[in-house]
């Protein structure tokens, strides 16, 4: 991929590295950074190595430049959860498919998805939603039944809100087949799932439900959940892919087509955020983005960003210490209970590069109190915290990996985790 042409094509400023960007922009505002090369490499990894069709879960990061980078890396299928996500994708690219993979949909949105954008794949987890979908979708539509599976190894649990229990799933699959539509199965093991056993267990459940229902599925969608490397090692993606292949074989499902719809693992390490310190008080640094902006995931121990300090027109000390970070809004929730190890002499005006921030970051920026992230830039080469999707090599750009976060500041009474 010619990243230079690509960045210019989409009208985003492009820099060789973060230091060059800071020198030229001297930003007092937070800057969302993305590396088309790392995003493209992640896309290629899924497209070439996942044993089936790879969709991108747009909700994870709908930034146009991120979508473009994944498209350039070969992604042609998109998990879209709303009409506006479908429109954003279908109106941007000519040769792609959208899947309406939200178990609860607005009737008018289903209708528009079918008639305007030609969407032909839907998901349900309840008989009432199936009735709604059957009222509207074409005769050759694929309807996936989202099966309830345990998410015990995931940082972010999904099993409370969506998913049909076994008996319901059996009935839904049979009803879909009886309607003449094509039945399929999907599940989600939870986000940042750090043990492949979850996929194995879920597939066993899928096999059981299919066998009781007596239905041959159009495909099995194993969802997202594939982890990214923050500050603690995770199994390589190939382990997930080979577990899915081996388990499918052992269950006699090797001839069924498999789909996946990752968000995090495609985009997390290809993006970062540069924030500026606006104020220092002892061990507290007040920065210009926080939990109401792009940093909500830094409130969970296992998805705290790796960080490095960058001095404003000076070289920072080699001595490091733990700092407590506070976001820019007036709400006391806007703080982080896990420490960030940074140069001991950080002060007003210095910057912090927060890495592995492609997932659930800009997508969740609320603009509360008038703060938010407006500036985006592209960077050449691999990202600062690129881990190659397969090896734990944070530090390929000479940044030492940070140890896992083991300590925490006393929790604020209202701080979430
Ligand atoms: C239905 C569905 N698929 C895929 C994803 C992406 O999950 P992840 O980012 O963990 O890969 C999500 C995340 O919310 C989801 O709800």
**Does the CB atom of residue 61 touch ligand 1 within 6 A?**
no
Q: What is the pLDDT of residue 25?
A: 96
pLDDT confidence tier of residue 402, bands split at 50, 70 and 90: low
Instruction: Give percent of the chain with pLDDT exceeding 70.
Output: 90
Neighbours of 161 (CB within 10 A): 9
Q: Which helix (H) or strand (E) holds 47?
A: helix 36-49
The pLDDT tens digits for 369-391 are: 999 999 999 999 999 999 864 44
Q: What is the pLDDT of residue 378?
A: 96
pTM: 0.93
Q: What is the DSSP string of 207-248?
A: HHHHHHHT---SEEE--S-----SSS----HHHHHHHHHHHH
Whether 38 and 383 have beta carbons less than 8 Å apart is answered as yes
Cα gap 367→375, rounded to integer Å: 13
**Does the CB atom of residue 223 touch ligand 1 within 6 A?**
yes
**Does the CB atom of residue 262 touch ligand 1 within 6 A?**
yes
**Does the CB atom of residue 101 touch ligand 1 within 6 A?**
yes
Q: Extract the tokens encoding 32.
A: 């969302």
Token pair 């986000």 in the structure block, residue: 191
Query: What is the DSSP code (8-state) at residue 198?
Result: H
How many angstroms separate the alpha carbon of residue 101 from the centre of ligand 1?
A: 10
Whether residue 67 is predicted with pLDDT greater than 70 in this model: the reply is yes
**Does the CB atom of residue 190 touch ligand 1 within 6 A?**
no
Most ligand 1 atoms within 8 A of CB, residue of 79, 153, 223 to mutate: 223
**Does the CB atom of residue 289 touch ligand 1 within 6 A?**
no
Give the three-class secondary structure for 25.
helix
E strand map for 305-402: 307-310, 320-326, 340-343, 351-354, 375-379
- What average pLDDT does the segment 184-200 reach? 97
Q: What is the DSSP string of 74-135?
A: T--EEEE-SHHHHHHHHTT-SS-EEEE--SS--HHHHHHHHHTT---EEEESSHHHHHHHHH
**Does the CB atom of residue 191 touch ligand 1 within 6 A?**
yes
Cα gap 259→142, rounded to integer Å: 13
**Does the CB atom of residue 60 touch ligand 1 within 6 A?**
yes
Most ligand 1 atoms within 8 A of CB, residue of 202, 224, 268 to mutate: 224
Residue 226 alpha carbon, nearest atom of ligand 1:
11
Whether 59 and 263 have beta carbons less than 8 Å apart is answered as yes
Rounded to 5°, the CA angle 30-38-44 comes to 140
Residue 123 alpha carbon, nearest atom of ligand 1:
1
pLDDT confidence tier of residue 413, bands split at 50, 70 and 90: very low
Mean pLDDT of the chain: 92
Residue 146 alpha carbon, nearest atom of ligand 1:
1
Q: What is the pLDDT of residue 5?
A: 53
**Does the CB atom of residue 261 touch ligand 1 within 6 A?**
yes
- CA distances (Å), origin 56, targets 60, 133, 264, 310: 9, 23, 9, 33
Q: What is the pLDDT of residue 231?
A: 87
Give 272 or 407, the one with higher predicted confidence. Answer: 272
Q: Extract the tokens encoding 193.
A: 């799932």
Cβ contacts of 114 within 8 Å, gap of 6 or more: 120, 136, 137, 138, 141
Size of the chain, expressed as the number of residues it contains: 417
How many angstroms separate the alpha carbon of residue 263 from the centre of ligand 1?
A: 6
Q: Give the chain's domains with CATH numbers.
A: 3-34+268-379 (2.40.37.10), 37-266 (3.20.20.10)
74: left (phi over 0), alpha (psi -120 to 50) or beta: left
């Amino acid at each position: 991929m010619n990243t230079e042409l690509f960045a210019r094509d989409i009208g985003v400023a492009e820099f060789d590295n973060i230091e060059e960007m800071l020198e030229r922009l001297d930003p007092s505002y937070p800057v969302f950074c993305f590396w088309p090369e790392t995003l493209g490499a992640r896309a290629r990894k899924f497209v070439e190595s996942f044993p089936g069709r790879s969709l991108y879960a747009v909700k994870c990061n709908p930034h146009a430049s991120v979508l473009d980078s994944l498209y350039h890396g070969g992604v042609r299928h998109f998990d879209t959860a709303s009409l506006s996500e479908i429109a954003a994708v279908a109106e941007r690219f000519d040769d792609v498919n959208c899947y309406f993979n939200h178990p609860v949909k607005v009737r008018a949105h289903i209708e528009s998805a079918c008639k305007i954008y030609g969407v032909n794949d839907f998901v349900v987890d309840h008989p009432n939603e199936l009735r709604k979908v059957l009222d509207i979708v074409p005769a050759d539509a694929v309807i996936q039944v989202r099966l309830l599976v345990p998410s015990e190894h995931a940082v972010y649990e999904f099993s409370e809100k969506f998913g049909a229990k076994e008996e319901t799933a059996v009935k839904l699959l049979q009803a879909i087949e009886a309607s003449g539509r094509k039945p399929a199965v999907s599940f989600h093991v939870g986000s940042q799932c750090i043990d492949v056993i979850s996929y194995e267990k879920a597939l066993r459940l899928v096999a059981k439900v299919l066998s009781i229902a007596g239905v041959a599925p159009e495909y099995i969608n194993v969802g997202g959940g594939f982890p990214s490397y923050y500050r603690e090692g995770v199994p390589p993606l190939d382990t997930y892919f080979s577990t899915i292949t081996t388990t499918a074989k052992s269950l006699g499902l090797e001839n069924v087509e498999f789909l996946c719809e990752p968000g995090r693992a495609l985009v997390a390490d290809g993006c970062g955020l540069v924030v500026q310190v606006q104020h220092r008080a002892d061990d507290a640094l007040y920065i210009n983005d926080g939990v109401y902006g792009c940093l909500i995931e830094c409130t969970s121990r296992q998805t705290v960003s790796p960080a490095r300090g960058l001095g404003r027109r000076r070289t920072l000390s080699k001595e490091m210490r733990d700092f407590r970070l506070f976001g820019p809004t007036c709400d006391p929730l806007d703080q982080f209970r896990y420490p960030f190890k940074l140069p001991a002499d950080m002060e007003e005006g210095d910057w912090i590069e927060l890495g592995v921030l492609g997932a659930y970051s800009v997508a969740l920026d609320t603009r509360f109190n008038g703060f938010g992230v407006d500036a985006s830039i592209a960077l050449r080469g691999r990202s600062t915290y690129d881990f190659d999707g397969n090896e734990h090599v944070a530090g390929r750009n000479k940044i030492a990996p940070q140890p896992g976060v083991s300590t925490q500041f006393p929790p604020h009474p209202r701080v979430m985790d």
